[in-house]
Amino acid sequence: MQHDVQEASSWTERIEVLVERVAQFPDTDARATSEELLQTVLEMYGEGIARLLEQVYECSGGDTALLEKIADDELVCSLLLLHGLHPLTLEQRIARGIAEVRPYLEKHGGNVELVRIADNVAYLQLQGSCQGCSSSTTTLKMTIEETLYRVAPDLEQIETVDASTPAAQPLIFISPRRKRSEAAAQ
């Protein structure tokens, strides 16, 4: 599975490089034609994936379990998100990610709850020993951030809120996608 993730990341990076090269074409007609070709291919694949998912749903008798299983694959998840076809909402995917890391946090005397989602930002509340402890902040960063960005790559940011001190500054985690774009800009 790790190889699959690395391969998908390699494809994504290669696509980004090629799109940037197309954007630099001095010939505006060649650039416009290339961009239209890419857009048309994306639309065709999106429609094909949508039809495939419809067939899976119909053949499963309206049960979404198979669709959810398909969407658990990281590459498939990213393709479904790209085409607006993911069977789970952002909130459902975040809730599943939190449920996945909760046993680990509970072993360390902590917990985390989803407070709300706004503008693709997840607001989380830490509970127990996770709250205010610097080593637990590291635990949060390593477990929750990694898991949530894996299950919800469209999530822009994660912030923690402290219920006991509402005026406290939120702890902000930057998405891996934003980290890459900020590093590239420097």
pLDDT at 145: 86
**What is the spatial distance between Cα 62 and Cα 182, in angstroms, rounded to a whole number?**
43
What is the rounded distance in angstroms from the CA atom of residue 157 to the CA atom of residue 116? 12
Parse the chain into domains and list their residue ranges.
2-82, 90-185
| Per-residue DSSP letter, 124 | E
> Tell me, what's the pLDDT at 74?
84
pTM of the complete model: 0.70
Q: Which residues in the chain show pLDDT less than 50?
A: 1-2, 165-171
Tell the CATH topology of 90-185: GMP Synthetase; Chain A, domain 3 (3.30.300)
How much is the pLDDT for 125? Answer: 87
**Cα 177 to Cα 9, 77, 112, 137, 184, distances in angstroms:** 11, 16, 24, 21, 11
pLDDT at position 24, please? Answer: 94
